[in-house]
């Protein structure tokens, strides 16, 4: 069974950093692109980043709203994806979902999400 479990969310002050983890099981992690999608309270979905599989160069892309502040990475030996979030802003408050896709353009499995609240 494919499983994605996010962790690392919580309350953080503006300007601080947080690292989210996405621990996966049930599939060959290295064969898939991994993405992070967020959803602010009461709002719609917002794609923020993906990382391709190493077979496709392991390249990364970012939404303009997080480019330069957030970094996605992957550890294929541990089947974990990470999202390092720096210089957090109040508008980064959201549920962050980790997702898997055969290609970056769609997500066929999603985690349950982890809430990040940026507030003083």
Partner 1 sequence: QSALTQPASVSGSPGQSITISCTGTSNDVGAYNYVSWYQQHPGKAPKLMIYDVSNRPSGVSNRFSGSKSGNTASLTISGLQAEDESDYYCSSYTSSSNVVFGGGTKLTVL
Structure tokens at 119: 């507030």
Piece in contact with partner 1 (CB under 8 A), picked from 21-29, 69-77, 80-88, 99-107: 99-107
Interface with partner 1 (CB under 8 A), residue from 7, 8, 9, 46? 46
* Per-residue three-class SS string for 79-116: CEEEEEECCCCHHHCEEEEEEEECCCCCCCEECCCEEE
Tell me whether residue 57 or residue 120 sits nearer to partner 1 (CB atom). Answer: 57
For tokens 């330069």, what's the residue?
68
**Footprint on this chain of partner 1 (rule: CB under 8 A):** 35, 37, 44-47, 50, 61-64, 97, 103-113
């Amino acid at each position: 069974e494919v499983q994605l479990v996010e962790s690392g969310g919580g309350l953080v002050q503006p300007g601080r950093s947080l690292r989210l983890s996405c621990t996966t099981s049930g599939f060959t992690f290295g064969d898939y692109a991994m993405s992070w999608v967020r959803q602010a309270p009461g709002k719609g979905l917002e794609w923020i980043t993906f990382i391709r599989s190493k077979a496709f160069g392991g390249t990364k892309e970012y939404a303009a709203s997080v480019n330069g502040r957030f970094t996605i990475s992957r550890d294929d030996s541990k089947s974990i994806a990470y999202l390092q979030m720096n210089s957090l802003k109040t508008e980064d408050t959201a549920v962050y979902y980790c997702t898997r896709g055969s290609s970056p353009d769609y997500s066929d499995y999603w985690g349950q999400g982890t809430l990040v609240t940026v507030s003083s």
